[in-house]
């Protein structure tokens, strides 16, 4: 069982994902929304890379969810606050979703990986348990921010490696350093995150509430998994 | 004065380098060799990305230095041990050099940056002093390993950010996390590096001696700077 960390979808071509589980993460906020949505009863969430791709699903009655640059896309039903996704999901709806970074990371990972699962702090213990039981090699794919390294995804990657280190071989420097960073700042994760660039981009009470929620561990015990192009409950 | 960190030449297109100083680093071992070489009296070191590009320089009497995958290129005069570069330099020679990662990072940075300088632990205090005096915006370009994130370059970037934090604004998460990582492990930098993937790839007494030397601070007070395609003493 080997574990690697890919810091950006722009680096994914350097990784061999075949036969491996890709754990895609975009803490702020795509994969947090997906966990919150599926965990609250959404039937399926279809991730698409381009906003035009939502149209055929919209015609079939899917809720449209999407953001670009952190803002809800005009004309879409909801944006990417986990609270919106929980509210929608309680009605058992199907959702089609496109985001700046997260859905790109999912679609890129899906090309080669044996399985694509969705990780967030909100379901971290379930993800750890599943990965331990599977025994498969793992690549944690951070969505980053417009191709750049992102703090929140790296901290989540580090938290996963931290919990898997006893059973998995750390393959690359990205995994080792993410774990070290997580361990160094885990005593005040939220405080540390306030200095990260994404936190500085967020403004308003709602966004701050989102950030705090997205850094919360184990609100859900579900793992969204990609099946035939849709994220469903494993 | 703003400071950013680019973790890999594969991400450099995401950065705006115009008007900025690019500090290129490849601790193991290209930029350590360059600092050691220029610091020991080499007249110039011409970095080239492809090994075939050394030929016109060889005909002019340049020493050929190069490595691929950590091994000296067949037919070249020297590889990429800083000790070899110091020995050659004492004769005041001109060197043409190609390496797996470092020379690629230099040539990519040179396209847009206002100035390209060479950083390593071996000249870190001189680099810090120059950057402080210049007051310019800075991008630290890590050479990585075949496009991947590398520990030793990240630790050097973190050490630089650590020393510049009081006068510079940390712009991106890569700079912030590199600094945090460096601070967390700086008490035993060499011990921590033993677990990194590059250290594991190195074998033999010579390579271990190289690693230890490349992690040593301030053996030299020179800064190699790129002028008309050649690295010379600033």
Please give the Cα distance from B146 to A89 (Å, whole number): 43
Q: Is B187 exposed, middle or buried (0-12, 13-18, 19+ CB in 10 A)?
A: exposed
Which residue is closest to B178 within chain A, CA to CA?
Answer: A181
Q: Is B228 exposed, middle or buried (0-12, 13-18, 19+ CB in 10 A)?
A: exposed
Strands ordered across the beta sheet of B71-72? B71-72, B63-68, B94-98, B44-47, B230-233, B224-227, B115-119, B21-25, B138-142, B2-6, B169-170
Say whether the peptide bond before residue A227 is cis (omega within 30 degrees of 0). Answer: no
A143 close to B (CB below 8 A): no
pLDDT: which is higher, B147 or B196: B147
Q: What is the pLDDT of residue A25?
A: 97
- For residue B116, give the DSSP letter: E
B143 close to A (CB below 8 A): no
Q: What is the pLDDT of residue B158?
A: 98
Chain B nearest C-alpha distance from A173 (Å): 5
Please give the Cα distance from B45 to B30 (Å, whole number): 11
Determine, for residues B154 and A177 on separate chains, whether the beta-carbon distance falls below 8 Å: yes
Determine, for residues A183 and B184 on separate chains, whether the beta-carbon distance falls below 8 Å: yes
Which residue is closest to A9 within chain B, CA to CA?
Answer: B11
Chain A nearest C-alpha distance from B8 (Å): 9
B14 contact residues in A (CB cutoff 8 A)? 10, 146-148
Chosen from B156, B177, B199 to mutate, greatest number of chain A CBs within 10 A: B177
Please give the Cα distance from A127 to A136 (Å, whole number): 13
Four-point Cα dihedral A129, A133, A134, A137, nearest 10: 70
Please give the Cα distance from B192 to B185 (Å, whole number): 7
What pLDDT band is residue B200 in, cutting at 50, 70 and 90? confident
* Least confidently predicted of B90-104, B120-134, B151-165: B90-104
Count of CB pairs separated by less than 8 Å, A with B:
85
B165 close to A (CB below 8 A): no
Chain A nearest C-alpha distance from B230 (Å): 30
Residue B67 has pLDDT above 80, yes or no: yes
- Residue A150 C-alpha from the chain's centroid: 12
Q: What is the ipTM of this complex?
A: 0.94
**Which SS3 state, helix, strand or coil, does residue B9 take?**
helix
pLDDT, one tens digit per residue, over B3-19 is 999 999 999 999 999 99
**A204's tokens:** 């308003």
A182 close to B (CB below 8 A): no
Determine, for residues B11 and A14 on separate chains, whether the beta-carbon distance falls below 8 Å: no
Q: What is the pLDDT of residue A41?
A: 96
Residue B126 has pLDDT above 90, yes or no: yes
Determine, for residues B147 and A171 on separate chains, whether the beta-carbon distance falls below 8 Å: no
Q: Do the beta carbons of residue A215 and residue A191 sit within 8 Å?
A: no
B180 close to A (CB below 8 A): yes
Average pLDDT, chain B: 94
Query: What percent of chain B has pLDDT above 70?
Result: 100
B176 contact residues in A (CB cutoff 8 A)? 151, 195-197
* 234 residues of chain A, pLDDT tens digit each: 999 999 999 999 999 999 999 999 999 999 999 999 999 999 999 999 899 999 999 999 999 999 887 789 999 999 999 999 999 998 889 999 998 888 889 999 999 999 999 999 999 999 999 999 999 999 999 999 999 999 999 999 999 999 999 999 999 999 999 999 999 999 999 999 988 877 777 767 788 899 999 999 999 999 999 999 999 999
**B135's tokens:** 């007051």
Determine, for residues A177 and B149 on separate chains, whether the beta-carbon distance falls below 8 Å: yes
B183 close to A (CB below 8 A): yes
Residue B70 has pLDDT above 80, yes or no: no
B194 close to A (CB below 8 A): no
A139 close to B (CB below 8 A): no
Domains of chain B, first to last: 2-228 (3.90.1560.10)
Q: What is the pLDDT of residue B71?
A: 84
B197 close to A (CB below 8 A): yes
């Amino acid at each position: 069982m080997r574990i690697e960390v890919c810091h950006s979808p722009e680096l994914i071509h350097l990784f061999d994902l075949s036969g491996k589980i890709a754990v895609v993460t975009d803490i702020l906020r795509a994969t947090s929304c997906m966990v919150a949505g599926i965990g609250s009863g959404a039937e399926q969430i279809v991730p698409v890379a381009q906003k035009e791709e939502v149209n055929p699903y919209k015609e079939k009655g899917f809720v449209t969810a999407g953001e670009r640059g952190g803002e809800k896309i005009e004309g879409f039903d909801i944006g990417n606050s986990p609270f919106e996704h929980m509210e929608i999901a309680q009605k058992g709806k199907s959702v089609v979703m496109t985001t700046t970074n997260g859905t790109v990371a999912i679609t890129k990972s899906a090309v080669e990986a044996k399985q694509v699962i969705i990780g967030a702090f909100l379901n971290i213990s379930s993800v750890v348990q599943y990965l331990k039981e599977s025994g498969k090699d793992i690549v944690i794919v951070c969505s980053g921010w417009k191709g750049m390294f992102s703090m929140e995804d790296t901290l989540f990657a580090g938290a996963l490696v931290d919990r898997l280190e006893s059973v998995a071989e750390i393959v690359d420097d990205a995994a080792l350093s993410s774990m070290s960073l997580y361990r160094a700042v885990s005593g005040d994760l939220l405080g540390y995150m306030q200095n990260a660039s994404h936190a500085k981009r967020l403004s308003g009470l709602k966004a701050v509430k989102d950030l705090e929620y997205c850094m919360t561990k184990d609100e859900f015990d579900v793992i969204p998994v990609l099946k035939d192009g849709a994220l469903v409950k494993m």
